[in-house]
Structure formats: structure tokens, C-alpha cells
Structure 1
Amino acid sequence: MNGHYPKPGGLAAALAVLIAVVLAACSPKGAAGGDAACGLSDDDFRTEGILQAIPVRATFLDEVSWDIPHQNWGVREWDADFRAMKNMGINTVVLIRAGLGRWIAAPFECLLESEEVYYPPVDLVEMFLTLADKYGMAFYFGMYDSGKYWQEGLFQREIDLNLKLIDEVWARYGHHESFQGWYLSQEISRRTKNMSRIYAEVGRHAKAVSGGLKTMISPYIHGVKTDQVMAGDKALSVEEHRREWNEILGNVAGAVDILAFQDGQVDYHELYDYLVVNKALADKYGMECWTNIESFDRDMPIRFLPIKWEKLLLKLDAARRDIFTIATAIILKSTTLTGNGKYTP
């Protein structure tokens, strides 16, 4: 872990491609390569002052997902991906969740005994930790999401499952040097009665068991692009967002170290104002402030296509203007997040 930012990680492919993709479009290979040079460079057509470097340091490993397809990779493919991410400057990977409903990322005994889960063919947690060790990256373990208990108001059931999981996971995997944090996986968008109890109890227990390793949450803004609002609910104004999250964060202070709001549920011209509030609230409660920059496009009728670079740039620029820690999500193999609290041009 490094002082201000706990060995943050970054955008897997998206950001490196964002800055460099245009350079590869016309790369001449000569006669032997079979491709003639086009004679032009995208540098010739860039507008001034838009592409600015922003470090992205962390990425979600999105293998147990609500709505993102699986890549069905083995260790060879994941090794190549970890190597590529490391070369791009990513130094933290976050398992987005240890399980969802019946699907789990490793054969966790506490879940196999108490829940109707499928026995997994691969221990993804051991694989990811081994690769993180190999490439000198920090690994954050994401909790189990029942997909039902906390949504049905059975908060204590969700809490108890994860308290047992934390004990088992730390005993089994805590020897890995790369095991450096915890991710509280339940994603919410506004004040839900007793929801903060999950963050508080699970976060405090994870820190106590592991000797104070950092904990992270990545909720979303209840904006115009949420499923609820598109189904007829009312989006939260910036002030309503501030008021509700001030209450939630007050309830979890001391149990959560990193606040990484998702950025895809509000419109691009609205985002900066919400980011300002997020940063102020994080500062108020002594949390590091990251932003989870989604690199898939919520404006499309199909979930989830890669985002238009211009849209991603708008979001990156909003974060840069508020001196943010950057976090992003890449759909094909991971969601991504970043952060170091400092922007270096």
C-alpha cells in the first residue's frame, strides 16, 4: 500500500487504448508486413486540449457478474491480461464479488454448506491472487452478494454470510502478499433502510480480521440512466444526493476507507456537479475518493457495448477537474477503477 492511495489499480485495456489507439491505426509495416502506410496520422486531426493524461490504476475483475458476459478464460489468458495491465500501469485488481446467487468464484465451504450454490470448477480467487503476486499487484477481495436477502430486507442474513466468508477467506488466502484489501460488493444508489448496516458490520469485521486492510464501496448515483428512473422513478438532484449520502456515510465512517461512486448513471453534463459532492463527502468522513469510470455505453439499447471514446473523455475530464482518483470499468474482461487522489498532467 502506498500512503495516500492504497496501491490503486487502473483501467485494463480501455485507457491505454484511449490514449494510444489512434497511433496504431495507420502504423506502416512496409512491404514485408503486407500493409502499406496510409500516410496520415490521427495526430493530424486531433482537436487541441482534449486528450489529457489521467492515471488510471485499478480494475475490477468482473467474472461473477449480474449482466456482463463471461470470457471463459483459463490461467494462460488471465496471465496475459495481468501482464498487459501491469505494463499499462495498473497496480490494483478488485474481484467485483466472490459470488452472486448460486454462482461462486471459489469453493467457499461456508456458502456450500448454507446456500444453494453450484460447486465451481476453478478457484478463481487463488488464480487471481497467484497472478497478482506474480506481477506485484494489490488484490481486493469482493464479498458475496446473495442477490436476494439484502434486497428483501433480510439484512442480517446477508451480513452473517459475509462475516463467515471473511473468516474463511482470510484463513485460506491471507498469506498471499498481494491480498491488500476488501470490496463490499452490494451496490446501492440511495438511502435504504438498514443497508448501511451491511457496509458497517462487514467492513469493520474485514478490517479487524485482516489487521486493518482497507475496504472499498462502489455505489451508484440515482440518476437519469438508472433502471429505476428509466422505469418511472425520479432521479435524485445533486442536493438530494448529497443529503442522502451524507447520512449513509455518517453511518459507515470507520468501516469504509475508499468511496468509488460509479459514474455512468447520470448525463455527461451533470456528472461534474455530482463528483464535487462525492469528493466533499469523502473528505468529510476521512475516505479516499475514487470514481468508477464505466467504459461501456449506457446510451445504447444493448447491454453493454464499448463506450464512444468522446463520452469517456468527457467523464475523465470531469474527474480531472475535481482532482479525482480515477476508476473505470471495461466490459470484456473487467470493470475498472482508479485512484491516487492526485492528478499529474
Structure 2
Amino acid sequence: MKRRFFLRSCGAGAVLLAGGLSHELQAAIRRNPDKIKPIEGSWFEFQHHNMAEGKYWDATLKSFTAKQWEMKVKETADCGIRYLVLLDVAINGKTFYPSSLQPQHEMGCDDPLETILSAADKYGVDFFISNDYFGDYKNPYFLMTDPEINKLRLKGMNEIAEKYAHHKSFYGWYYPNETGITGYYDDFFIDYVNASSAEAAKLTPKAKTLIAPYGTRNVKADDQFTRQLEKLNVDFIAYQDEIGVEKTQVEESAGYFEQLYRVHKKASRARLWADVEIFRFEGEIYQSALLPAPAERIVRQLEAVSPFVEKILVYQYPGLLNKPGSQVFAGHPDSEILYKELYKHKVLNNK
């Protein structure tokens, strides 16, 4: 069922006409008809895993010095972002930090991971640190099931914890390997998440854990899915809204997240967040550069998920958002326009 949420322009009445909402949510919307949750987090990266998609910022980020990385973290903190999610600590057989496990990428900074965590300590940002991609990210099934890769991942987590877990900004772990939800989570995905969380608990007992699955529109929010959520050992699940990859229309998104709200409430385990895609493609999906999406579309995306989720994260600040006049500009020129528009709508810099 398609439902359009005009929380700001039409008020609570339009939302209630959509039908199917729980009494609790209807009451919440009546109390706050104009409420859009601010953007509180974003993915973050040293290099984009898909070269075509990172066309407008990869070369710039590769040359960033330690000072520039610090300034970029400060820029995100200044716009009200509290959480950053590091997409990967390694890719294409090389790491983004000094490692005994794989050679290191040549960057303009000797240890980007140390640099961003030190900056996050200073500016009050909490980081979820990735525990992958120590193998080919394009083959997630292999990465999640191969015994040797699993051993390498756990070694990587141990190495990262030893080097960086002392930072107060080391808030948690992010598990980037994904398979699409086709009604339910794959069993091997649950095993991968739970094995990662078991190791995280040994290494960093206070650290939180995060996943961001896709296939949101395909979730069967029934008892079987509830049982899977109860089994899944993770603190936060930020489901992708899949607007940017054109799998879901904005007017459908609220319906999917309302179903997730209900099933997460029933499972009473992982907390429900949103991963809102603020990009569009320059050309063919997955084969061309990511561009900032129109602000009007993004605001409607935020409106759609706000009644149902605890926090909203976006994919992603690097490359798609830049503060006007930024001294560490990286990305498409329209990223400044998008920043100004989202600031105007009070979803950025909402401190």
C-alpha cells in the first residue's frame, strides 16, 4: 500500500488518512505534526569502494593530509552530526591504517584511522568502526562464509582494537557485509553478525554494534522475522531506504518503515534506525558517479521515516555534502547547494 506523508505541508490529518498506523503512532503524529528528525549521523570513508560512484571525491580524499582529515571531521560535527560510520578499514587487499595483515594504501596521511578518531575525540563525534573489507567486497557471501576470510576479519578486529579502542570516540563496530533481505535475513548473515559481535564483546565490551541491511521493501514483518531479530546480536539496525538506488519510491517508504517499527517493537532487541540515501546517479545505477539528490526529495525521505525510527543516518556526507566555503571541499559542486538547502530545512546544524 502506497502512502504519502506530508507532515509539514498538510499536518497530521493527511498522515492519518493514510490508514494502518498504530494508535500510538497516530497520537505521536498529532502531538508533533511538523516534526522531522534531524540528520544525526553519516557514513564516512577514506576511498569509495566503487570507483565509478566516487568519481567526484576519491582523488581529493586520497591526497588529504592529517590536518585536512581533522578539518573534515570538525565540519561534520559542526553541522550537528553526532555519529560517523566508517565504511571500511581495508579494500582491494590493502588497509587504511598501518597493519601487519595487509599492505597499506598510499594516502596523503600516514594513519588516517588514528587521525579521524583523534579528531572525533576532540569534536565530540562517536565513530562506528568497520570490521571489513579484508577481501573482495563484491562477493559478500564469500566474505561471510569463507573460513580463512573469517579468521582474517577477527585478526583485523583484534589489531584495530589494540591500536585504536582507547579513543573515547571509538563508540562501536559496523559490519559492512550485506545480503539483501528477501523476506527474511539469510542464516549465514545472522551467523556473520553474531560471530562479529561475539568478538567485539571480548575486545571492547562497552562498544555498540551496527548493521545497515538492504532489501527493506522485501521484509516480511511476521513472526519468523521477529524470531530472527530476537536471534540477531546487534544494537542498531539502520535499514536502507533505497530511494537513491531507485528500488523504492519515496511515497512507499513510510509503509515499509512502519512495518519495521511494529516488528522491532515486538522483538524488543535491536533499535530501529534509518539509512537515508541522499544521492542520485549521474547515469546508470551502480555504474556511474553519485550526485547530491534534490533537497526536496531528501526532505520527503526524512518526513517518511521520522515517525518510526529512533535516529536518522544518511549515506553520505563525504562527497555529497560540503559546507559552503569549506577549506576541505571534496565532492560534486552541488554538494554545497544541498548543504544550504538542508540547513534551511533545519535538518542539518540542528544542535
TM-score (norm 1): 0.69
CA distance in 2: counterparts of 1:171 and 1:132, whole angstroms: 18
RMSD: 2.9
CA–CA distance in structure 1, aligned partners of residues 292 and 302 of structure 2: 15
C-alpha distance in 1, partners of 2:91/2:41? 22
Kindly indicate whether residue 308 of structure 2 is the aligned counterpart of residue 327 of structure 1. Answer: no
Deviation at 1:201, TM superposition (A): 0.4
1:60 match:
43
1:261 aligns with 2:231: no
> Residue 141 of structure 2 corresponds to which residue in structure 1?
151
Q: Is 2:214 aligned against 1:220?
A: yes
* Number of the residue aligned with 1:308: 294
Q: For residues 181 and 57 of structure 1, what CA distance do their matches in structure 2 show?
A: 16
Determine if contact 2:42/2:317 at 8 Å carries over to the other structure. no
Name stretches of at least 5 consecutive residues in structure 1 with no aligned partner: 1-45, 224-235, 336-343
Q: Structure 1's 251 and 300: CA in aligned 2 closer, same or farther, altered over 3 A?
A: farther
* 8 Å Cα contact 2:282-2:289 kept in structure 1: no
Give, as a single letter, the amino acid of the residue that structure 2 aligns with 1:251. K
Asked if the contact 1:61/1:334 (under 8 Å) is kept, the reply is no
Matched, 1:204 2:187: no
Give SS of 1:261's match: strand
State yes or no: 1:130 paired with 2:118: yes
CA separation of 1:245 and 1:214: change in aligned 2, threshold 3 A: same
1:15-62 deviation per Cα after TM superposition (whole angstroms, max 9, x unaligned): xxxxxxxxxxxxxxxxxxxxxxxxxxxxxxx96769854222112112
Corresponding residue SS for 1:321:
coil
Task: Say how many residue pairs are matched.
Answer: 270
Q: What is the CA-CA distance between 1:298 and the residue it aligns to?
A: 5.2
| 8 Å contact kept, 1:61–1:93 | yes
Give the drift of 1:132: 0.5
Deviation of 1:244 (Å)? 7.1
Tell me the distance in 1 between the aligned counterparts of 2:257 and 2:158.
35
**Paired letter, 2:48:** S
SS in 1 for 2:128: strand
The 3-state SS of whatever aligns with 2:306 is helix
TM-score, structure 2 length as denominator?
Answer: 0.68
Match of 1:271, as an amino acid?
S
User: Superposition pairs for residues 187-198 of structure 1, below 5 Å?
Assistant: 187-190=178-181, 191-198=185-192
Corresponding position of 1:295: 278
Q: Which amino acid aligns with 1:101?
A: N
Q: Mind listing any 5+ residue stretches in structure 2 that lack a counterpart?
A: 1-7, 12-32, 322-349
Cα distance between partner residues in 2 of 1:97 and 1:303: 19
Q: Which amino acid aligns with 1:143?
A: N
Letter of the 1:205 partner, please give it: E
Deviation larger for 269-278 or 256-265: 269-278
Sort the Cα spacing of 1:100 and 1:272 in 2 relative to 1 into closer, same or farther, 3 A. Answer: same
- More deviation in 286-295 or 141-150? 141-150
Letter in 2 for 1:74: T
Letter paired with 1:219: P
**Residue pairs, 1:1-345, within 5 angstroms:** 53-67=36-50, 68-69=53-54, 70=58, 71-72=60-61, 73-109=64-100, 111-112=101-102, 117-121=103-107, 122-145=110-133, 146-147=135-136, 150-152=140-142, 154-190=145-181, 191-221=185-215, 223=217, 236=218, 238-239=219-220, 245-246=225-226, 248-252=228-232, 255-264=233-242, 265-283=247-265, 284-297=267-280, 301=284, 302-330=288-316, 332-333=318-319
1:97-126 Cα deviation digits (max 9, x unpaired): 1112323211221x32xxxx5554432210
Identity %: 21
2-structure distance, mates of 1:120, 1:52: 45
Distance 1:135 1:201, change over 3 A: same
